[in-house]
Amino acid sequence: MFCTILHNLQSPTNVGTIVRSHVAFGGNEVVFVGHDRPWRFKKSTQAFSRRLERLCDITYLKSDDDLFDWCNSHHYSPIAIEIKEDATPLADFCFPEKPALIVGHEGTGLPYSLLQRCTATAFIPQFGDVACLNVATSAAIAMYEFRRTDNAYRQISGSNFWVPADRRVGT
């Protein structure tokens, strides 16, 4: 069980891609932090989410204080996915039972004040000449790494994973 927290994300492409990954990896809530109004899942987002937001419990929180209160009341451990000198490499990270995976703004990442309040920070090691990964890519890798060892994935049917007809939303 995990939730995904999108801290001040701006890009419809990133939001849609993260929501699709979140559903694919069996996440619980998707939480938006820092928006004055609920995210609008318009065509630009839905082109990447494949309308899978319909399968998510979505929560909107205005501030970091609201975020940490929400995590505490829902028994989530806030885990930042961010490049930081004292962070743990993701492959070595020991996830708590119920993590809240937090990814940040496409240009500025997560603020230092938020990182200080998280239970832990994990980073994704890189090997090539790129300063950082795209936030949607980072979120998907973190979700995968959390779920990697539980072997609870769906059965394969042809070239897709089998999903019951009543849960199918997009293709």
Beta bridge partners of 122: 81, 88
Query: Position of tokens 């065509």?
Result: 43
d(CA 103, CA 82): 7
**Interstrand relation of 120-123 and 3-7 (parallel, antiparallel or unpaired):** unpaired
The structural domains of the chain, ordered by start, are 3-167 (3.40.1280.10)
Q: What is the pLDDT of residues 27-41, one digit of tens each?
A: 999 999 997 677 777
pTM above 0.85, yes or no: yes
Beta bridge partners of 4: 30, 101
Q: What is the pLDDT of residues 71-119, one digit of tens each?
A: 999 999 999 999 999 999 999 999 999 999 999 999 999 999 999 999 9
Q: Report the pLDDT value the prediction gives residue 72, as an integer from 0 to 100.
A: 98
pLDDT-based confidence at residue 166 (cuts at 50, 70, 90): confident
**Which amino acid is residue 54, in one-letter code?**
R
Query: Position of tokens 């987002």?
Result: 45
Report the SS3 class of residue 56: coil
